[in-house]
Structure 1
């Protein structure tokens, strides 16, 4: 049986030409990725990115343009049984940016018994690269961003 996991992510640059990343503790592992998450049944990808940013960052965004959709096979890092398809959009805020910002990678507490914690931080464009993110598809997108913007 084939199982696909569709993920939708937003890329946000600020006025200082920094890119927003999400540091996440998930099931015992540490990951730096772009903000976003899973497409829900009955939802379009544009609705998904708006919902995910509202849920994770209390941030209203609008999509500016499509950046990338996975064009190679990628097995899930979390279940090893589903194929990941990731869609990335350039987004811009349509409400004031008020999410708490981490000063350093993974600068958060992990309460006892909690399996997922996340926080966001800005990375200066000069320091941003494929090495800034953890997941294989995000690395492809980071390289693409560096060549495109």
Structure 2
């Protein structure tokens, strides 16, 4: 069984990369914004929906960056293979979601969500000079982060 995930690389004018810090299923993760493809949805529409749901942000989806080209078992569902697709994303409006300056800095609203659902997330930018795969948790995201660092100067 396959689990298709779609993620966006959003960079601001200061050449910083947007990441999501999440607490989900008892663990902390730093990852790129995005999520799961729903039945009947295209990958670009999925990513637009995810940005709208997670950040209340309208985005334009840009160029394709990478699609998983190796086997990656799901960390949460061992009988599923992850296929992850990455695109550049461009904000069409100012970001309204609270942005943090440190990792896993959840506010009261986010902690309320955690107490209701067992999950929460927040967002922050990482300066390009400090950004690398070492700052990302998920294996495929690490590859994409290092690919970006190697190809974008």
Q: TM-score, normalised by structure 1?
A: 0.95
Residue correspondence of structure 1 range 122-133 to structure 2 within 5 A: 122-133=125-136
Answer yes or no: is 1:80 the counterpart of 2:83: no
Aligned length: 147
Q: Distance in 2 between matches of 1:130 and 1:71?
A: 18
Q: Distance in 2 between matches of 1:87 and 1:17?
A: 22
**Which of the residues 9, 12, 19 maps onto 2:10?**
12
CA shift, 1:122, in A, is 0.4
CA shift, 1:144, in A, is 0.5
CA shift, 1:89, in A, is 0.3
Runs of 4+ in 1 over 3 A off after TM superposition: 109-114
Q: Distance in 2 between matches of 1:144 and 1:115?
A: 33
SS across alignment from 1:120: strand
Q: Distance in 1 between matches of 2:101 and 2:142?
A: 22
**Which of the residues 117, 131, 146 maps onto 1:143?**
146
Give unmatched runs, 5+ long, in structure 2.
Answer: none
Q: Distance in 1 between matches of 2:96 and 2:151?
A: 28
Coordinate RMSD, CA, aligned = 1.0
CA shift, 1:64, in A, is 1.4
Give unmatched runs, 5+ long, in structure 1.
Answer: none
Greater helix proportion: 2
